[in-house]
Amino acid sequence: MTARRTLRTLILATIASPCLAVAGAAPDPREAPEAVVQVYGARAMGVKGWFAVHTWVAVKPTDATAYTVYEVIGWRLRWSDSALVVRTRQPDAPWFGSAPELYADKRGPGVDELINRIDKAARDYPYAGEYTLWPGPNSNTFTQAVLDAIPELKAVLPPTAIGKDFPYRGEWSGLTPSRTGVFVSLGGYLGLTVGWIEGIELNFFGGVLGLDMRRPALKFPGIGRLGMPLIQ
């Protein structure tokens, strides 16, 4: 490993440490029959990883023996007409060497109904056949679209999830995903979000600068979240 790669790994590990998913963040299906919904992200491959993450949603219905992961992978469009991937895999496994971060975790009664809505939202995603690294639609646009369908999860993607603010529904203003605030967006290039769950976020050409008042933290482009973790 080169000195540059070593430095990059140390910097990103320090930044992400409050949210890093510890081993076993996804409960073993053989030991935990309850339904589970989790949202993960990890630093993207290559140079993109300096400033952005790739995100995905994982679900396990009650008594299921494996997890189903929903994500968009842009390079699939080189040989397929859809970048949407729905597959069985370990949700808390590293993403091409990058340690995953856990952004949301909900288990137990009522989660099976959320899983049904997640599956529908994923399969109804309107940009499965398109992928634009910046400002979107990309993998983070997809994850945000799925989260919009389940506001009960109260999940918030980090400022490094570039593309989450892309207006995939064509709306320039409206309620935030948690329904606790409002947003305005100029095509994903400029925008402002103010909500109790989302906090205050200023989107400037994909970079997010913001403040989380509910779980005190500062949000910075490229760096991510500094303060209390998204979940305990």
Burial of 27 (0-12, 13-18, 19+ CB in 10 A): middle
pLDDT digits (tens, 9 = 90+) for 58-108: 999 999 999 999 999 999 999 999 999 999 999 999 999 999 999 999 999
* Domain boundaries along the sequence of the chain: 3-227
Residue 14 has pLDDT above 50, yes or no: no
Mean pLDDT of 201-221: 93
pLDDT above 90 covers a percentage of the chain that reads 78
Specify the pTM: 0.88
Residue 22 has pLDDT above 80, yes or no: no
Q: Which two tokens stand for residue 205?
A: 């050409």
pLDDT above 70 covers a percentage of the chain that reads 89
Q: Which residues contact 213 (CB under 8 A, 6 or more apart)?
A: 196, 199, 200
At 117, give phi and psi (nearest 5°): -70, -35
pLDDT digits (tens, 9 = 90+) for 160-184: 999 999 999 988 899 998 999 999 9
How do strand 190-195 and strand 68-72 relate by DSSP bridges? unpaired
Residue 11 has pLDDT above 80, yes or no: no
Candidates 190, 213, 214, 212; CA nearest to 202 is 190
Amino acid letter, 203: N
At 227, give phi and psi (nearest 5°): 145, -150
Mean pLDDT of 99-120: 96
**Residue 95's pLDDT is what?**
95
Contact 58, 91 (CB under 8 A): yes
Cα separation, 84 vs 193, whole angstroms: 27
- Over the chain, what is the mean pLDDT? 89
pLDDT tier for residue 48 given thresholds of 50, 70 and 90: confident
pLDDT tier for residue 53 given thresholds of 50, 70 and 90: very high
pLDDT tier for residue 110 given thresholds of 50, 70 and 90: very high
Residue 206 has pLDDT above 90, yes or no: no
Nearest 5°: CA angle at 145, between 85 and 164? 100
pLDDT tier for residue 202 given thresholds of 50, 70 and 90: very high
Residue 23 has pLDDT above 90, yes or no: no
